[in-house]
Amino acid sequence: MKLRRGPDGLHLFDRATGLNVLLNEVSFLPENWTVSPRQVSIALTNTCDLKCPYCYAPKTPAMLDTTLVRRWLLEIDALGSFGIGFGGGEPTLHPAFPDLCHFVARETRLAVTFTTHAHHLTPILLRRLAGHVHFTRLSMDGTHHTYETLRGRSYRTFLDRAQAARSLSPIGLNVVVNSETINDLDAVADAAAELDASELLLLPEQPTPHRTALRPDVHLRLQAWVHAYRGSVPLAVSEAGATGLPVCRPLAKETGLLAYAHINANGELSPSSYHHTRLPIHPSNFRNTFEHLNAILP
């Protein structure tokens, strides 16, 4: 198991099973805490072949160099992070995506997750990824007509791809919650149960240059839906959209950059994909950039 020392105690993690153990009776001085984010997301590319109107990902062309990503992954692992999550854009459109998953699984002790719209999860790609991914997140944003209107793809095909993804790893479903998808949440939860998903992640819409944040009336409806939810699939919510929703914080003191950091497709480090503070990562020194970013944040 991999270990992290932090403000909440000694945290143990097994990437093969997803088991987390927190020994909170153990305490460490701040200078002995693990100096890295617990989880790092990496946008391999801004490229995506969907055009969802509420997407927050940058639309400027950008793609990370594979050699640089490998260097960062080795350092992120050595510093004590538990996992990385590949995203984008659409990560399956990065030409080295399967090779990077292989690299992480073989050369590091990091857990490998990725977030995808699922439409490129062909049998060939699934075979290439087999044994090298620990969790797969599938973005769906509504069902049937809602899904097809927003995503411009067949909902039936999505379900088929999602079912096939279960052969690769445990899966979770992500849904952006906004005025277009709020009425589909019951159907989304039913789909999650039918697919035997491990988690249903709610992503209240965040503002972009072309869209506003989730409307207050829709947020109230989301709160009511969550409080009334009795489904079998556990719910989760993005930290950016968690206001007003019941949350469980087992690592209540490990916050900010100690909990999570994001690398965008331009090779810049930030507290999240929504945050405006970004620093270019030194080609061979992730830690220096991480510590610099931590020092300048309020």
Quick: pLDDT tens for 100-122: 999 999 999 999 999 999 999 99
No. of helices (H) and no. of strands (E), the chain: 8, 13
124-133 pLDDT, tens digit each: 999 999 999 9
**Per residue in 20-34, is it b (16+ CB within 10 Å) or e — as a string?**
eebeeeeeeeeeebb
Rounded Cα distance between 41 and 186, Å, is 29
Cα 90–Cα 94–Cα 100 angle in degrees, nearest 5: 110
Stated pTM of the model: 0.95
Q: Residue 219's closest CA among 185, 191, 193?
A: 185
Return the pLDDT at 12. 98
Q: Judging by DSSP bridges, how do beta strands 279-280 and 268-270 pair with one another?
A: antiparallel
**Domain spans in the chain, listed from the N-terminal domain onward:** 35-296
Q: Average pLDDT in the 55-72 region?
A: 92
Return the pLDDT at 285. 87
26-49 pLDDT, tens digit each: 999 999 999 999 999 999 999 999
DSSP 112: E
Q: Average pLDDT in the 68-95 region?
A: 97
Q: Average pLDDT in the 148-168 region?
A: 97
Residue 283 has pLDDT above 80, yes or no: no
Please state, rounded to an integer, the average pLDDT across all residues of the chain: 95
194-235 pLDDT, tens digit each: 999 999 999 999 888 778 888 999 999 999 999 999 999 999
248-265 pLDDT, tens digit each: 889 999 999 999 999 999
Q: Judging by DSSP bridges, how do beta strands 19-23 and 9-14 pair with one another?
A: antiparallel
Return the pLDDT at 256. 92
Cβ–Cβ contacts within 10 Å for residue 182, how many? 20
Return the pLDDT at 77. 98
Measured in residues, the chain has a length of 298
Domain 35-296 has CATH 3.90.1260.10: no
